[in-house]
Amino acid sequence: MFTSIIIPAYNERDNIPLVVDLLEKLLPGDNWEIVFVDDDSKDGSREVLMRLSRENPRVRFIRRIGRRGLASACLEGMASSSADVFAVMDCDLQHDETILPAMLRAFEEDPKLELAVGSRYTGRGGGTGEWSKSRVFVSRFATRLGSVIRKTELTDPMSGFFAIRRELFEETVRKMTGKGFKILLDIVLSAGRPLRVREFPYEFRTRQHGESKLDIVVAFEYLYLLADKIFGRFVPVRFVLYILAGLSGLLLHLAVLGALHRLAEWPFVTAQIAATLTAMVSNFLVNNSITFRQQRLKGGLLVPGLLAYMLICGIGAVVNVQSAEYLFENNIPWWFAGAAGALVGAVWNYAVSTQIVWTWLPGVLRKR
């Protein structure tokens, strides 16, 4: 049984050689390899990876340019491999590699085994190490939430430490969202049937080098993954987020309009223009940090992005009014014509700004 140990690594220069050493000492035989997936780290990881993979035929790496994401990195590592079993492990030594041999042996002992999961919440010894109380709480809450739609019981579905048989990977890979951090959950949800799993308790260690890439918005990506699995068949979750961002903009618009027109006594039209501009800027920022988080514009891209967004929404407003007017003139009730116009405008804004503001523009500006 040939095994690939897939190790996603982003800015893990100091940890990479340590992981290789540990695995070399630990794993018997030579029926295994290590595949690092590096998302173009800025800390010199690449030089370390090049050196190690020249010295050691067991080590290879994939370098992805212009892309980020733990889950998709793991998927691409697996896709690049010819192994029978893939094990996924963090690069920062937080996962206790000493349970790995037992995890891999389980696949040989039980030919029907599909998944082996390192769990922080089962048996003795399991635990979250030195996590803060709030992080433990969030992690447990997220675990419960996920269980609503899972078909396979797992004590630690958020675990990033697991091994999967190739057959299960092939069955699920095209259904996975590949977004965010929670690849194990993505696999289990995408399988949509009970899986044959074994869990292996371990204690989560404290990170020694480098820093964690998990921030609060990653928690949001997790909700996104769940929503996508539940509703994604009907409406793209992104479009829903876009509409929600739009509604928040509408509230802000009314607040600004009220403040300027009623309190500051600006003329209505001036106040309406100011409110519209405020709402556009706010919608842009909200969409940029939530709806399009994966392609978020930063630094010098923000202003051109905002201008393009405002232009597109301006055209959207014209499209909106034109469609509504057309319907209204054809004896459609005013409220239906108005709502249909708004929907057409929203779909336009969504579709065009997705393509232009968050896809085409960053590509063009980055090239220069």
12/228 with CB nearer Mn ion: 12
Residue 94 binds to ligand GDD (criterion: CB under 6 A): yes
Q: Which of 5, 23, 69, 104 is the binder for ligand GDD (CB under 6 A)?
A: 69
- What is the nearest approach in angstroms of Mn ion to the Cβ of residue 129? 10
Minimum distance, C-beta of residue 52 to Mn ion, in the bound complex (Å): 20
Residue 309 makes CB contacts below 8 A (sequence gap 6+) with 280, 283, 284, 287, 353, 357
The dihedral sign for the CA sequence 341, 347, 352, 357: positive
Query: Does 316 sit near ligand GDD (CB under 6 A)?
Result: no
The tokens for 36 are: 């690092």
CB of residue 260 vs ligand GDD: minimum separation in angstroms? Answer: 43
| Residues 218, 215: Cα–Cα separation, whole Å | 5
The residue among 136 and 255 lying less far from ligand GDD, judged by its C-beta, is: 136
Q: In whole angstroms, give the CA distance from residue 317 to residue 315.
A: 5
CB under 6 A: which stretch of 90-98, 110-118, 317-325, 354-362 binds ligand GDD? 90-98
Residue 96 touches which of ligand GDD, Mn ion, none (Cβ within 5-8 Å per kind): none
Strand partners, 163: 87, 116
Q: Which stretch binds Mn ion (CB under 5 A): 88-96, 126-134, 248-256, 347-355?
A: 88-96
Tell whether residue 177 is a contact of ligand GDD (CB under 6 A). Answer: no
Residues 20-39 that bind ligand GDD (CB under 6 A): 37-39
Torsion from C-alpha of 248, 254, 258, 261, nearest 10 degrees: 130
- The reply to whether 94 sits near Mn ion by the rule CB under 5 A is yes
Q: First and final CA of the chain: distance in angstroms?
A: 48
- Cα–Cα distance for residue pair 303/297, rounded to 1 Å: 9
Of the pair 69, 246, the CB lying nearest ligand GDD is at 69
Query: In 101-218, where do the E strands start and end?
Result: 115-119, 162-165, 197-201
Among 12, 38, 39, 92, binds Mn ion (CB under 5 A): 92
10 makes contact with ligand GDD (CB under 6 A): yes
Phi and psi torsions of 194, nearest 5° = -65, 135
Q: How many residues does the chain have?
A: 368
Choosing from 9, 104, 225, 324, the residue that interacts with ligand GDD (CB under 6 A) is 9
CB of 302 to ligand GDD, least distance (A): 21
Tell me the torsion sign for CA atoms 123, 18, 215, 357: negative
Out of 160, 305, 316, 345, the only residue in the binding site for ligand GDD (CB under 6 A) is 160
Looking at the Cβ atoms of 9 and 226, the one nearer to ligand GDD is 9
Burial 94-123 (b: 16+ CB within 10 A, else e): bbbbebbeebbebbeeeeebbbbbbbbbbe
Burial degree of 316 (CB within 10 A; 0-12, 13-18, 19+): buried
* Partner from ligand GDD, Mn ion, none contacting 8, C-beta within 5 to 8 A by type: ligand GDD
| Site of interaction with Mn ion (CB under 5 A) | 92, 94
| Site of interaction with ligand GDD (CB under 6 A) | 8-10, 12, 37-39, 68-70, 73, 90-92, 94, 139, 158, 160, 181, 212-214
